[in-house]
Amino acid sequence: MIAVMHKWVTVGILSLQASLSQAAELPEPVTHSAFPEFPFSTVLLGRDLFYDPILSGNRNIACATCHHAVMGSGDRVALGLGEGGIGLGRVRSGRATAPARAHVPRHAPTLFNQGAPEFDTLFHDGRVARDATERMGHAMPEGHALERPVPMTLAAQALLPMVAPGEMAGDPGENEIADAVARGAIRGLAGAWQMLAARIEAIPEYRRRFDAIIGPHEPIHVTDISTALAAFISYEFRSIDSPFDAWLSGRQHALTPPQKRGVTLFYGKAQCSTCHSGPFQTDHGFHAIAMPQIGPGKGHGAPGADHGRAAVTGNPGDLYRFRTPSLRNVALTAPYGHAGAYATLDAVIRHHLDPAVSLARFDPETVRLPALDGPGTLPATGPDAAEIARIASAIQIDLPPLTDAEIADLIAFLDALSDPGAVIGRLGAPARVPSGLPLDLLTLN
């Protein structure tokens, strides 16, 4: 019976492959074996650290503030407010009495499946990456080299938001973490990372729980913290139970007719899988597709500019290239793009089909950002005409046109990449955290 079923499944998938014109190979089904395993006690410890504001300079923002389970591991806004904001998601804002400094310059990416080993290059610009030539096995931004090896790239990535002034650290004069960051003291015994580890060390409940992992006589190091965070993220946001996964595993009725037509388009005529390849629909590469730039930018030359990968590599050929995002749960995790410029899948697909025209027509003021000085929103700003022209000149893609019906079928397929269990988190937020600090309010609009 099993042999007969396997033959039927193989024939079904091969039949679809045969129907695709110049098709890319369909991915294999993903299983839990594709992920590293950690003791559940480490996962639970990581959950508390993920939601605990103790890891921020002013003890007022957590990793979860911008990557919350109830928001699909993101924050639901184009550009969020890190340090200085209050609230969660679309109701997050600055305060009239203490306005937030600025919007975070890039959209908060989702965290789905980033514990899988193939996610070895992270951030929109890839500034953290596995690299065997580096002493600790990972390339990191200047001044942020790892002090100890970590078991996965996600654990290296988790170290950086803690010491980013606009995200979690705060500004100099506000706290000792921000002061150390301003001095360039990230590493070492007097560095910001060690100060954060000392905070965790001083909380008896955290110390007891780390005892079981690193031993009772071993001081807590910041990489112990980031490894626990990575263990939780890998478990919490593992997304491998979508209708597409079920279909690849042999359940031929898991996809609707429009979704099956979307598969044919995605892996065939529409050429989506040229970049969105593999089991998680990403080649982990960097491409310049003229996604609209909004907000403060990264300080790369012109006002509001973001040079993407080129700011990491120094290679002019990498200008305006950004990492290909995984498409898992993409239908549930708008907005889209490195700056969150597009609110719908329809809009972002149409941008791919004619990026130069789409960029020229894009109006940043249609995007509403959280207000800096109290409840409400304000319109986004964009770069000047000269910078927009430079973004357009770097375009690398040239895709065939699609009809409205074909775009609708593509969107149907993208919806089949949704995993309802993963998009809200497998564990969710704890009722309390060991520091005793308040959790972010979960009131969303």
The string of pLDDT tens digits covering residues 91-132 is 999 998 888 889 999 999 999 999 999 999 999 999 999 999
Same domain, 76 and 201: yes
The yes-or-no verdict on residue 22 having pLDDT over 90 is no
Cβ–Cβ under 8 Å, residues 263 and 406: no
CA distances from 270 to 30, 328, 398 (A): 24, 18, 11
Same domain, 214 and 88: yes
Cβ–Cβ under 8 Å, residues 410 and 262: yes
Q: 0.85 cut: is pTM over it?
A: yes
Domain assignment of residue 28, yes or no:
no
CATH of the domain at 351: 1.10.760.10
Same domain, 217 and 313: no
Cβ–Cβ under 8 Å, residues 191 and 163: no
Number of domains within the chain: 2
Same domain, 267 and 413: yes
As a 3-state breakdown, the chain gives helix, strand, coil percent values, each rounded to 5, of 40, 5, 55
Domain assignment of residue 442, yes or no:
no
pLDDT score of 16? 52
Give the residue from 221, 143, 148 showing the smallest Cα distance to 187.
Answer: 143
Domain assignment of residue 101, yes or no:
yes
Task: Give me the chain's average pLDDT, please.
Answer: 93
Domain assignment of residue 299, yes or no:
yes
The yes-or-no verdict on residue 9 having pLDDT over 50 is no
Same domain, 334 and 231: no
Confidence of residue 249 (pLDDT cuts 50, 70, 90): very high
Give the end of a domain, one of 239, 259, 290.
239
The yes-or-no verdict on residue 373 having pLDDT over 50 is yes
Domain assignment of residue 374, yes or no:
yes
Task: Name the residue range of residue 169's domain.
Answer: 34-239
The yes-or-no verdict on residue 20 having pLDDT over 90 is no
